[in-house]
A and B are shown apart, each in its own frame.
Chain A
Amino acid sequence: MGTITVTIDGQQVEVDQQATLLDAANKVDIEIPTLCYHPDLTLHGSCRICVVEDAESGNLLASCATPVTDGMKIKTITDKVIEARKMNLELLLSDHPNDCMTCEADGACDLQELVYEYDVSEPSFGLMEEGKFEVKNENPFIEFDSNKCILCGKCVRVDNEVQCSGAIDFIERGFSSKVAVPFDQDLGADFSSCVFCGQCVEMCPTGALTYKPAKGQGREYELEKVETTCPYCGVGCQIELQVKDNKIVQVGSIYDEDHPNPVGETCVKGRFAYDFVDHPERLTKPLIKKDGEFEEVSWDEALDYTAQKLGKIKEEDGGEAIAGLTSARCSNEENYIFQKFMRGALGTNSVDHCARL
């Protein structure tokens, strides 16, 4: 495929023929703000924040959606561009609650950031006075406040294109448009095909979609980010634990094409089932039942006890008398060692795995 050259803010850039103006600008590290654009999702072109000016015609072009043409000259910062971005931000603000103080997304909100950057301190059309829509939060995982939604459609696209749940889409028209599950119910409703993978929450640029368990647990800037492998199955999804005071507040996505989950995919378990980590009933030491009661013992004692018991069974009844059950939450390597131990050391082929049940 051929390349073509365009000029962005005076810099010549050579890009692929299929590239957009945004791609070309990114190539030379010229930053253009976006709200609805995501490199892993199909093009939507709805927020109209990424507009730039065509130097020849003076027309405003949405840079995420405009393919480059040879010899094009683009300016990314002109009075006209700033005015248009600012007014579109003012419009978004007029249809958005003014509750940053208590909003879960404070500090992690793209809209808030742009409003600050473009100094929209006195929006021409005011701010939303009262909510238009009912907040949906009847499920244990995700709170959906359509009043904060800017209809960028990222959640709809990730749901339909990446997760393929087909759970949410746009409903209604004009100013009443919103994202919803069928019949405008809760994400957890009977008709909803939502699987609570949480990818919509990850994509949401505002506080419209938030994690319920994380509510009030910490601001984005207070959270320590720990990249790890999800412990639940053998896929090995890479996830980001967001931790405050050594406690997991929420699980975020990582977008990396080299990962087994390149678009930050994970399932409901990887996303939400982490409360066992700090659960008071979690077993952290081995127990042996003595005189009918469980008693905490040392690892050495527990291992000796187990080896002795297994050895005795093998001696008296043969290895075939023993069966082993392992867990889907172990890694492939751990499961390999387990079956090797069962076959080689104990002499049994009776090995199974919880995921088969």
Chain B
Amino acid sequence: MSSKDSYYIPSKATWPAVGTVGLVILLAGFANHLNGSSIGNPMMIMGFVIFIIMLAGWFSLQAFESESGMYNHQVGISYRLGMMWFIFSEIMFFAVFFGSLWYTRNLSVPWLGGEGTGAATKELLWPAFEATWPTNGPAHVGGEFEPMGAWGLPFLNTLILLSSGVTCTWAHHGLLANNRDQLIKGLIATVTLGVLFVMFQASEYHEAYTEMGLTLGSGIYGSTFFMLTGFHGLHVCIGAIFLMVVLFRSWKGHFKPENHFAFEAAAWYWHFVDVVWLGLFVFVYIM
């Protein structure tokens, strides 16, 4: 039976159990840390290290198996389906925070200001509150702050992420045309732009905390701003690391024009991160 006709079934897997142990130690450590227990931090570090070892081990195994031609076309489709639906779950995760922003801006803050059936609420609870956006609520939680403008660093970051989408596609064209030089250059450019984005984002956060009085605790504006941009920034980091792994593998000569799932997955993920940013730029920064 040729490998094309038979199914591929791995016999056993040790990395999932290792990853579970790492993840549970990491989270239990974080919970202990939040509860003010001193064993929290060492547990978090230990769990994180185990988790990273798992990722490295599992990815190496997959890369090795892929390069030794163990995956047939059908396995490739399974992986693509898996990645596609994983990204869909991520979209739903971001939808929660976008939805919360929409709900507070369009419904709950106006109600708090007396709109619609909220007249009694306003009179009884906070008669002085005027519904505006941005707001940190009737109790001015977190004190005075200055909202983040759209046309400075955020606009630059928009251009950076959009260009990184272009360089990523350029790298893909290189891979498809068997042009390894273009593939590697494109990936280096994409990763560099990603890192640049994160650095600008960090400096924006620094400015918000030190000069603008804008923190995670600045009422609902601060909460939605930092949650949305923060989770996005985290995803940019994950995507950039993913691309770095792909870059490293490209250097080692991995991937063929007809077989490069890891590259495709990383590129899909990068474009997803890109699109989320466009949503952020419009709904968080501009509007």
Pair from one complex: no
**Which B residues are closer than 8 A to A by beta carbons?**
none
